[in-house]
Amino acid sequence: MRVFVTGAAGFIGSRLSKALLERGDQVIGFDNFDPYYAREHKVRHLDDLRDSSAFEFIEGSLHDAELLRTEFEKWRPDAVAHMAAMAAVRYSVQHPLRYGETNVQGSAHVLDAARHIGKPTCVLASTGSVYGTSTPIPFQEDANADRPLAPYPASKRAMELFAYSYAHLWKLPTTVVRFFNVYGPHGRPDMMPWQWTRQILVGEPLTLYAAGIALCARGLLRLSSWCRGPIVLAQLIELGVAWSFRGGETTWVAILLAIPAVVVLAVIFSPATTQALYGRRLSDETS
């Protein structure tokens, strides 16, 4: 199968590409090397993929609707894994407009390019931060999630809603995966595991954003080939059906006293969403 992976130079996009290539798929990677973190990391992520003759890479931006249309028409992928985004909640508070441009408008460009070539299976990366603080716990995929607390989750929720309308109108088999905190090889240098590792190695004090709160905890999901994270995504792409998964290959990080819960949830745009828990296969009808 031929898969168009946006954000292929990023952490999750590059690991997903690797898993797909190892499975024998062809991957068309797309990324603009956004400078939010240093290009050298993204070059290293890609170097890990370039050995494969089944890997093609296009340097381009989600902002360029015409380029996306052209590349989709050229490659006519069977599936689209839309991992490219402006991530990071804190940064979004400083640069809110970039999140609208990339995560909302840019994602609309991807969906639009997809619907023009037929019905490729679409998997879109979203975030657990869409739940905000008003969603009852434990989180449910069909919760309203309509009180995002920063531009980043607001932009991802808007992307989800755009995807819903595309799935409804043009019958694109679509799955949105809401990641929580993911780490692993080729992880993001702005995230806590990388930052703390560096700080420990150079003997600096650890940065704790929630300092002052008595109980502070964060759960992390390890995404690597051994924990099958990318493979689960690859299965989503292959099947075009709903898979929800929780816990599993989880590493716990407890700060002070608490042990957090880690959840990975998937949302499929189907009335049958809630029946999809724990990896049950649904029908291919997703609108």
CB of 158 to ligand NAD, least distance (A): 13
The residue among 167 and 264 lying less far from ligand NAD, judged by its C-beta, is 264
Does position 106 interact with ligand NAD (CB under 6 A)? The reply is: yes
Supply 159's token pair: 């992307």
SS3 call for 43? helix
CB of 203 to ligand NAD, least distance (A): 26
CA dist., res. 283 & res. 133, Å (int): 32
To the nearest 10 degrees (0 to 180), the angle between helices 39-47 and 11-22 is 10
Active-site annotation holds for 209? no
Region of 30-38, 48-56, 68-76, 112-120 interacting with ligand NAD (CB under 6 A): 30-38
Give the residue closest to ligand NAD by C-beta: 10
Question: Going by C-beta distance under 8 Å and a sequence separation of 6 or more, which residues neighbour residue 41?
Answer: 186, 188, 189
* Catalytic, out of 91, 99, 131, 152: 152
Sign of the CA dihedral running 255, 261, 266, 270: negative
Binding mask 117-156 for ligand NAD (x = CB under 6 A): --------x-x-----------------------------
Give the strand pairing for 216-222 and 250-255: antiparallel
Q: E-strand spans in 62-170?
A: 79-82, 121-127
CB of 45 to ligand NAD, least distance (A): 8
51-70 residues near ligand NAD, rule: CB under 6 A: 61-63
Does position 39 interact with ligand NAD (CB under 6 A)? The reply is: no
Q: Active-site residues: which are they?
A: 152
